[in-house]
Amino acid sequence: MPKLFESIKLRDLEVKNRIWISPMCQYSCENKDGVPGSWHEVHLVSRAIGGAGLIIVEASGVTPEGRITPWCTGIWNDEQAKAWKKIVDLAHSHGAKMAMQLAHAGRKASNHREASGVGSISLAEGGWETVSSTNQAFGDYAAPRKLNVAEIGNLVEAFGQAAKRSVEAGFDAVEIHGAHGYLLHQFLSPLSNDRDDEYGGSLENRARMLMEVISSIRNSVPETMPVFLRLSATDYAEGGWDQEQTATVSGWATKAGVDLIDVSSGGIVTGVKIPSGPGYQVPLAEYVADQISEPVSAVGQITDAHQAEEILQSGKVDVILIARASLRDPYWPLRAAAELGAEVQWPEQYSRGKWPA
């Protein structure tokens, strides 16, 4: 059996394979209410039918102001949780496990959706004031307001409440979004954290909000439910967040109850050169995996079944996240099974369309 199709267990959650769908924003809440709708249902359930072991849904705001755009999903109220439950139940019926990605975009919130450009939406256009660890703007975005300590505490609580709603919606796991230049990453990186209180300065202080969020979430979900953490392993900028700090904080996080580190990169500053290419983030994930005992996932231009299998067989990481390749092919896992000679269950309705072994 190819390693891609071996099961993996995290706490009480057993996932049938190691091909997971990476969270990818869809910007498709047309009512701007954070409630997932028909697009999200078709998008996510088709990946379940396609054989993914676990699907991490898109970055969903723990508060209205935490959304990347007004069209992003949320998990701050019961209406959203109810809509998510319908989708989660359908995905479960087709064999996939589901994880909620809990997010706050910080100074990168109130943004346009991809099709209409990048940058802050003004208050007059329906945007909102953004907040951060700093009052320095990200690129040409609007300058954020620096959070005070009480507001940080309120957001920590919001992450916990969102985790509770994720449980009510039937999700099997939750992921904390601490990457890509969003709020928790803004606190972690020296390039975006200029605070002189207990949330700034030393690595321990810069990681304080993240660690409080982990505690809030861990106290809000069952002991049996896994918690994942997505981190950018480097800012690709001098004086910024790097592999060593990522590995250290990953160790703290796993000791605090995180069960898997999802390694990505970048997003905190503009104008940096990212050395993109096939599997370009795998070495970053491998570095973290070498420093901790808990599972680590890799993501980023992993597009070929044999490439993905080699990454696992060589022991670099434990799980592969498929992102844009799954947008091109929702049935990527079924195709990978055929290419690697793995026997997997196809939907009966699609059985006559199997790829030849």
Q: How far is residue 54's CA from residue 209's CA, in Å, rounded to a whole number?
A: 28
The SS3 call for residue 286 is: helix
27 is catalytic: no
| Catalytic one of 182, 199, 236, 331 | 182
How remote is the C-alpha of 50 from its chain's centroid? 20
| Residue 3, phi then psi, degrees to nearest 5 | -65, -30
Which amino acid appears at position 127 of this protein?
G
Q: Which residue has the tokens 């898997």?
A: 260
In DSSP terms, 231 is beta-bridged to 178, 263
Phi, psi for residue 264 in degrees, rounded to 5: -125, -155
Tokens representing residue 59 in the block: 């970055």
Residue 211's Cβ-side half-sphere holds a number of Cα atoms within 13 Å equal to 18
Distance CA 41, CA 31 (A): 16
Angle at alpha carbon of residue 173, lines to 323 and 107, rounded to 5° = 65
Both tokens of 43, joined, read: 């998008």
Separation of alpha carbons 224 and 236, rounded Å: 36
Query: Which residue has 């346009």 as its token pair?
Result: 112
Q: What does the alpha-carbon distance between residue 305 and residue 316 come to, in Å, rounded to a whole number?
A: 16
- CB-count exposure of residue 95 (10 Å: 0-12, 13-18, 19+): middle
The residues carrying an active-site annotation are 182
